[in-house]
Structure formats: C-alpha cells, structure tokens
C-alpha cells in the first residue's frame, strides 16, 4: 500500500476519496475511469459484499467467495484507483479531511460518502447480544455455522429439540425477512430432512414475525397474499401484528406476552445509516440518512456527494424518497462519479434520474415477486427469472455473473446446497 499523505503539498492531481466499496462506492469509482484524478477507495473490508445474496450464503446455497469479491480485483484495469482497507472514524467536512482507524488522515478535493447502513435493533432487549442480523458477510457466515451447530447438537441429543434448538424466529416481514424465512424453510424441509432423517421435521419451526398487518408492505395486496401463501406452503409459521419485545439465547418474547422457544433469531427489521453520518454535523433524515441534493451533493458542500443506503435521495421524477436498494446505490454512485468527472472538467453537475427496474423479493426456488413502477406485478417463476436477470446485472464482474449463473442453475436442477459444512479453526 502506498504511503497515504496528508495535505496538498506539491503538484498532484485532484484526489477523489470514496468511502465504502459497496454498490455506491464501486459505481462512483468506475464512473471516474477516465477522470484526471487520483481516486482513493477505502473500505473496512478488503471485499465487496453482494448483500442481496447474503441469505443464500446463510442457507448454504452459495459459498463465501460467491457473495464477497476482492475489492482490489475490481480495479486491476483502472490505473487511477487505489484501494485501502481501513475503518473511517470521522469526516471533517470543513477541513476536507477524513480520519481512519489506522492509516494517516487523507485530504480530499472531492468526497463520496458511500458507507451504507447497519442493523438497527431499536433497543430491543437482548437483540444485540443474541440476534443474528443479515447485513454483512460475517453475519451470514456466523448464522450458517450457528444453525449447522444446532442441528449437529440436536442430532446427538434429541431432547434439545423440545427446548426449541432447531426453531428459528425471523423478525421483519420486508424482503430481508421474507427471503431469509423462505430460504431457511427450503433448507430445513429439503437438505436437512435428508441429512438428519431421524429428526422430527415438524418440530423444527421457522416463524416469521411482522409488526404490521401484512408482509411486504411496500408491495400491492396481490403480492402480499402470494408471498404469505408461498411461505406457508414451505412450512413457515407467520405471525402478524406482533412485536418482538426481548430475545434470550433460547426464547423470543413478544409484546403480547407470547413466548416462542427458539435458539435462533434472525433480525431483518430495521436499518440505520453508518454512524459516521452522525458525526458530520449535518441535519439528518429518518434512519440518520444524509440528505442529498438532486445532483447528490450535500448542502453547503458541492464537493461532497452522498449515495446509497447512507443517503436520503428524493427521486426528481416522482418526488418520492428512493428505497435503500442495490440498484439505487449503484446508479446513484455512477451519477456521483460522473458529476465529479464533470466538475473536474469545469462543467456543471447533473441531477440524478433513477431508472426503476422494479421492486423484487424472492421467496424460494422458482418463487419470487416483482412490482414494476407503473404498478404491473409478476409472481412465481417469471418473477424469479426477472429477479435473476436484474441481480446478475448488479454483480460486479463477468466472472461473478458466470459463477452465480452456474450455482443457481445447478441448485435449480439438483435442489442441493453445497455449503453445509462447518470448519473448526481451533482444532
């Protein structure tokens, strides 16, 4: 890694500092390909995480390297990009400087804030200690190993089943909760039923708890009904209108007083922007999101852009706040990068115009839902294909796309999940 320097001494090209190597950060860096600038991308991980596939890693359908991709690898062909692995600790907007956990601070001429979001447990008792969020690669691996360990333990001591060792409660009826519950139910009723034939399948429950009156509230009623039925057909118990009050290692307690015996709770119920946003000294929107202007810059700082999950972006066409989605982050990142390239050339920045390819969620094999922005909906196999094509387009390299295609096709034919192994590193 080259020595990062502080200050503007000596003649150097303008520096564009990109914080975060998710969809937003990658989109911005790529759009600066031909810019006369040094682009520095910093992420606390040395890989890009493809969050839409985390639940497939968590349920053994994909391997770690199919959901995470080395960040440096993405920029081998782009000479003006340097990648560093470090944690951003603070951003000094007035001083145009960013502080890191380990590296020396870096000054910037342009800055892209693309640090994403993280889980929000809303203060639920016991959740930060015992719940499993599904937001990072580490979350998915931790969850997958935990579930495998529970089944191996129950295989040796069936009394654990009575205590709820195999039960999983999924909190949140949005896409993350629906996708996780559907994939888990297929893992349980498919491969685990064959792997552990002596285990009473009907007593290994997957329960989805949603506070509202329906699942997938951002979708139309026909989709909500389809999703509920498709999950129930896969054996998921659905509890609507209930809030999780507390979580312990073996019990989930609901506000109504009902207790669910379960050694595992997946949290898919809420997000908040990266804590770096809180330290910016700006007025933030709901979920601590940074308000982006139409060209994605932030108020009073035309040299700073906010994109992706950390940003509060209003669609200039519809006047609606855009959802925290990979496609929004990627397109916004590309627009921010293109705007910086324009400013570097002395041109004006342009407003961001989101191209909506539809809101989607998968429920299981050959079962998904899509709602296009004009209101048309798709369900089942056709929606699954639409989900696949939109998400293949989001994958960062051709190699990733090819790998995902092979895995999905293979899993479609064989219904097999290759990731059902636990590796102990302490032996």
Ligand X SMILES: Cc1cc2nc3c(=O)[nH]c(=O)nc-3n(C[C@H](O)[C@H](O)[C@H](O)COP(=O)(O)OP(=O)(O)OC[C@H]3O[C@@H](n4cnc5c(N)ncnc54)[C@H](O)[C@@H]3O)c2cc1C
Residues 259, 295 contacting (CB under 8 angstroms): no
- Per-residue x/- mask for ligand X, residues 379 to 398, rule CB under 6 A? --------------------
Give the residue with the Cβ less far from ligand X, 126 or 358.
358
Give the residue with the Cβ less far from ligand X, 49 or 124.
49
Rounded CA separation 314/382 (Å): 30
Residues 277, 284 contacting (CB under 8 angstroms): yes
Tell the smallest beta-carbon distance from residue 172 to ligand X (Å). Answer: 10
The DSSP call for residue 13 is -
Which listed range, 109-117, 149-157, 181-189, 338-346, lies at the site for ligand X (CB under 6 A)?
Answer: 109-117
Rounded CA separation 258/389 (Å): 42
Annotated catalytic residue within 66, 179, 210, 407: 179
- Bridge partners (DSSP) of residue 48 are 69
Which listed range, 44-52, 209-217, 254-262, 298-306, lies at the site for ligand X (CB under 6 A)?
Answer: 44-52
Residue 52 makes contact with ligand X by CB under 6 A = yes
Q: How many residues bind ligand X (CB under 6 A)?
A: 34
Residues 168, 252 contacting (CB under 8 angstroms): no
Residue 92 makes contact with ligand X by CB under 6 A = no
160 CB contacts (<8 Å, ≥6 apart)? 150, 153, 154, 166
Rounded CA separation 137/22 (Å): 12
Rounded CA separation 105/233 (Å): 54
Residue 367 makes contact with ligand X by CB under 6 A = no
Residue 83 makes contact with ligand X by CB under 6 A = no
Tell the smallest beta-carbon distance from residue 32 to ligand X (Å). Answer: 15
Sites for ligand X among residues 143-162 (CB under 6 A)? none
For residue 179, indicate whether it is catalytic.
Answer: yes
Residues 230, 185 contacting (CB under 8 angstroms): no
Residue 358 makes contact with ligand X by CB under 6 A = no
Tell the smallest beta-carbon distance from residue 197 to ligand X (Å). Answer: 31
Give the residue with the Cβ less far from ligand X, 161 or 168.
168
Please provide the DSSP assignment of 378-424 as one string: EEEHHHHHHHHHHHHHHSSSHHHHHHHHHHHHHHHHH---TT-----
Residue 43 makes contact with ligand X by CB under 6 A = yes
Sites for ligand X among residues 152-211 (CB under 6 A)? 175-176
Sites for ligand X among residues 257-276 (CB under 6 A)? 274, 276
Please provide the DSSP assignment of 128-163 as one string: HHH-EE-SSHHHHHHHHHHHHHHHHHHHH-THHHHT
For the chain, percent helix, then strand, then coil, each to nearest 5?
35, 25, 40
Structure tokens that stand for 144 in this block: 């997958």
Strand order in the sheet with 377-380: 359-364, 367-371, 377-380
Structure tokens that stand for 254 in this block: 């609901």
Give the residue with the Cβ less far from ligand X, 353 or 393.
393
Tell the smallest beta-carbon distance from residue 417 to ligand X (Å). Answer: 17
311, containing H or E segment: strand 311-312
Sites for ligand X among residues 323-352 (CB under 6 A)? 324-327, 329
Which listed range, 120-128, 183-191, 245-253, 308-316, lies at the site for ligand X (CB under 6 A)?
Answer: 308-316
Which listed range, 62-70, 111-119, 160-168, 369-377, lies at the site for ligand X (CB under 6 A)?
Answer: 111-119
Tell the smallest beta-carbon distance from residue 293 to ligand X (Å). Answer: 17
Residues 120, 287 contacting (CB under 8 angstroms): yes
Tell the smallest beta-carbon distance from residue 309 to ligand X (Å). Answer: 4
Which listed range, 30-38, 49-57, 157-165, 214-222, lies at the site for ligand X (CB under 6 A)?
Answer: 49-57
Give the residue with the Cβ less far from ligand X, 134 or 343.
134
Residue 25 makes contact with ligand X by CB under 6 A = yes
**The one among 66, 309, 334, 407 contacting ligand X by CB under 6 A:** 309
Tell the smallest beta-carbon distance from residue 49 to ligand X (Å). Answer: 6
* Orientation of helix 326-344 relative to helix 23-31, angle to 10°: 30
Give the residue with the Cβ less far from ligand X, 55 or 352.
55
Sites of contact with ligand X (CB under 6 A): 20-25, 42-45, 49, 51-52, 54-55, 87-88, 114-116, 134-135, 175-176, 274, 276, 308-310, 324-327, 329
Give the residue numbers marked as catalytic.
Answer: 179
């Amino acid at each position: 890694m080259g020595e990062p320097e502080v200050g503007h001494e000596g003649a150097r090209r303008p520096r564009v500092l990109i914080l975060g190597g998710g969809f937003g950060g990658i989109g911005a860096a790529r759009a600066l390909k031909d810019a006369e600038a040094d682009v520095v991308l910093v992420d606390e991980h040395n890989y890009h995480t493809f969050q839409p596939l985390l639940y497939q890693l968590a349920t053994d359908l994909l391997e770690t390297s199919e959901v995470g991709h080395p960040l440096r690898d993405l920029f081998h062909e782009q000479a003006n990009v340097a990648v560093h692995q470090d944690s951003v600790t603070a951003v000094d907007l007035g001083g145009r400087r960013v502080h890191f956990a380990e590296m020396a601070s870096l000054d910037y001429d342009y800055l892209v804030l693309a640090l994403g979001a993280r889980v929000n447990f809303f203060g639920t008792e016991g959740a930060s200690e015992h719940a499993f969020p599904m937001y990072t690669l580490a979350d998915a691996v931790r969850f997958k190993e935990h579930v495998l360990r529970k089944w191996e333990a129950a295989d040796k001591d069936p009394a654990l089943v009575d205590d709820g060792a195999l039960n999983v409660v999924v909190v949140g009826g949005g896409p993350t909760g629906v996708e996780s519950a559907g994939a888990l139910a297929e893992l349980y009723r498919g491969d685990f039923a064959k792997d552990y034939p002596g285990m009473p399948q009907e007593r290994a429950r997957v329960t989805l708890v949603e506070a509202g009156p329906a699942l997938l509230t951002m979708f139309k009623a026909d989709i909500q009904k389809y999703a509920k039925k498709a999950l129930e057909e896969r054996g998921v118990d659905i509890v609507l209108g209930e809030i999780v009050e507390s979580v312990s290692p073996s019990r989930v307690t609901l506000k109504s007083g009902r207790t669910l015996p379960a050694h595992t709770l997946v949290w898919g119920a809420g997000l908040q922007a990266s804590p770096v946003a809180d330290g910016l000294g700006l007025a933030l929107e709901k979920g601590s999101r940074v308000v982006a202007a139409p060209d994605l810059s932030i108020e009073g700082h035309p040299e700073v852009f906010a994109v992706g999950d950390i940003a509060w972006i209003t669609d200039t066409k519809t006047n609606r706040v855009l959802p925290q989605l990979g496609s929004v982050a990627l397109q916004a990142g590309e627009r921010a990068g293109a705007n910086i390239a324009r400013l570097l050339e002395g041109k004006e920045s342009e407003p961001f115009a989101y191209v909506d390819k539809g809101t989607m969620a998968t429920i299981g094999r050959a079962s998904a839902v899509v709602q296009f922005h004009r209101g048309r909906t798709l369900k089942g196999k056709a929606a699954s294909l639409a989900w696949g094509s939109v998400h293949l387009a989001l994958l960062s390299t051709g190699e990733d796309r090819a790998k995902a295609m092979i895995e999905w096709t293979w899993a479609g034919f064989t219904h097999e999940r290759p990731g059902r192994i636990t590796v102990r590193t302490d032996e």
